[in-house]
Amino acid sequence: MTIQIQSLWRLEPDKGFVPQRLQQLLECLGFWDISESPDSRIQCMMVVW
């Protein structure tokens, strides 16, 4: 989880840290069901970011 956030952080270093987007990402992944396919997490991250 930490690695994913850091990776997203490095994608747009010029824009700085966006706590709201981070909160949305954490909430999205928090409700992500383990039984679902990995594509669900990728889609979730794409929607948030």
**24 burial class (0-12, 13-18, 19+ CB within 10 angstroms)?**
middle
Would the pTM count as exceeding 0.95? no
pLDDT tens, position by position, 1-49:
554 555 555 555 555 555 666 667 766 666 555 455 556 555 665 555 5
